[in-house]
Amino acid sequence: MAGNNGQTDGTQGLLVRAPAKLNLSLAVLDRRPDGFHEIESLMVPVSLHDRLRVQVQPAGQFSLAVRFKGRLAHGVGRQLARDVPTDDSNLVIQAARLLAARAGVTAGLAIDLEKEIPSGAGLAGGSSDAAATLMAAAQLWNLDWPMDRLADLAAELGSDIPWFFAQAPGLVAGRGEQVTPLAGIKPLPVVIACPAEGLATGAVYAGCQPDASRRGEAAALATALTEGSLRRALPLMRNMLEPPARRLLPAVDQLLEVMGRAGAVRPLLTGSGSACFSLCRTLTEAQRLAARLDAAGWPGVFQGRVLPGRVDAPQLVDN
């Protein structure tokens, strides 16, 4: 954290981790008059993350540098290093400017963003980066804003962003802004894989037929997982966006098939895709699955684990 009193002296920066999320289940219950969808989902943060280094700038100056790291910087993974704006349309700059305006802050911000989370993948990397920026900016600008106030502001930028302030597994409802944190989810190993192409969230939702009878599925899954029964949990892991995503992008269909053949216990689309994942019972099972998908040439194969609790708080670094 920033010093003993939580304050920075303006010459220091903060290092923040922005984790990806997975939807272990996603039910689309209704299409709302405001154009959003009523959903219920069980969302978990995972160890795959972006990193942000955030520093205070003189009044009104906001700058962003983006670099791709890890899988996105090497070999076949390079084709996933795309589609991240470096101008004011990037969510981190939008978030910083919004907070400055609402809090009456005149200072600016310089952000170095290291991307390891593929975009357009349903992993909400952009949303997580925005949440991390708001947390860091509030601290660097010495704002006395509690997390729930930052989360309310974040909802104006995107439906997935408020969830990241709970920084723990949680049940998500409404259009994504109603979050109930969940304790007791195990740090299960997970393998995530991406096709070369991304998917546009709007197109996938448009191809989905809402079904209100699916209400309660996410809560039932949460009960099975907190009781430690992966066997009972697996059949409850369903994503209503998977059928339209499979239709829109044949590579998703193919990837889910390949994951099943490679030993994945329950291959599933996350969010609106195009990334797919499988929870694994053991680390060995995860290593074997990741190795098989790598060998088959899928560009973005990540092995990690579910994060059961809070992610690290922003860390103070010297400039």
List the catalytic residues.
Answer: 21, 160
Which DSSP letter does residue 239 get? B
The residue type found at 99 is L
> Three-class SS of residue 218?
helix
Q: In what order do the strands lie in the sheet with 189-194?
A: 268-269, 276-279, 189-194, 300-305
Nearer to ligand ATP, 126 or 314 (CB): 126
User: Which range of residues in 29-37, 82-90, 147-155, 242-250 is near ligand ATP by CB under 6 A?
Assistant: 82-90
201 counts as binding ligand ATP under rule CB under 6 A: yes
> Nearest-CA neighbor of 192 among 315, 289, 89?
289
- Kindly determine how many residues on this chain lie close enough to bind ligand ATP according to the rule CB under 6 A: 20
Under rule CB under 6 A, residue 222 binds ligand ATP: no
Burial of 106 (0-12, 13-18, 19+ CB in 10 A): exposed
Q: Write each residue from 128 to 167 as x if it is in contact with ligand ATP (CB under 6 A), else as -, in one continuous string.
A: -x------------------------------x-------
- For residue 250, the minimal CB distance to ligand ATP (Å) is 18
DSSP three-state, residue 43: strand
Among 98, 123, 255, 268, binds ligand ATP (CB under 6 A): 123
What is the C-alpha to C-alpha distance for residues 203 and 95, in angstroms, rounded to an integer? Answer: 25
Residues pairing with 15 in the sheet: 53, 315
What is the closest distance, in whole angstroms, from the C-beta atom of residue 129 to ligand ATP in the complex? Answer: 4
Residue number of the CB closest to ligand ATP reads 126
**Of the candidates 44, 40, 37, 43, which has an alpha carbon nearest to the alpha carbon of residue 27?**
40
* DSSP output for 100-123: HHHHT---EEEEEEEE-SPSSSSS
Taking CB under 6 A as the binding criterion, the range among 118-126, 185-193, 283-291, 295-303 that sits at the site for ligand ATP is 118-126
Segment (H or E) for 129: helix 125-140
120 sits near ligand ATP (criterion: CB under 6 A): yes
Cα–Cα distance, 163 to 45 (Å, whole number): 10
Q: What are phi and psi of 189, to 5 degrees?
A: -65, 150
Residue 8 binds to ligand ATP (criterion: CB under 6 A): no
Nearer to ligand ATP, 274 or 292 (CB): 274
Alpha helices (runs of H) in 155-249, residue ranges in sequence order? 201-206, 217-226, 230-233, 242-248
Q: Which is nearer to ligand ATP, 233 or 301 (CB)?
A: 301
> Interface with ligand ATP includes 83 (CB under 6 A)?
yes
C-beta of residue 125 within 8 angstroms of C-beta of residue 270: no
Residue 114 makes contact with ligand ATP by CB under 6 A: no
State yes or no: residue 279 binds ligand ATP (CB under 6 A): no
Closest to ligand ATP by CB, 123 vs 279, is: 123
- φ and ψ of 41, to 5 deg: -150, 150
From the list 115-123, 137-145, 178-186, 278-286, the region that binds ligand ATP by CB under 6 A is: 115-123
Exactly one of 28, 80, 84, 135 binds ligand ATP (CB under 6 A); that residue is: 84
Tell me: does residue 241 bind ligand ATP (CB under 6 A): no
Structure tokens at 195: 């096709």
Based on the shown chain and the rule CB under 6 A, indicate whether residue 272 belongs to the binding site for ligand ATP. yes
Answer yes or no whether residue 192 interacts with ligand ATP by CB under 6 A: no
- Which residues here bind ligand ATP, judged by CB under 6 A? 83-85, 90-92, 119-127, 129, 160, 201, 271-272
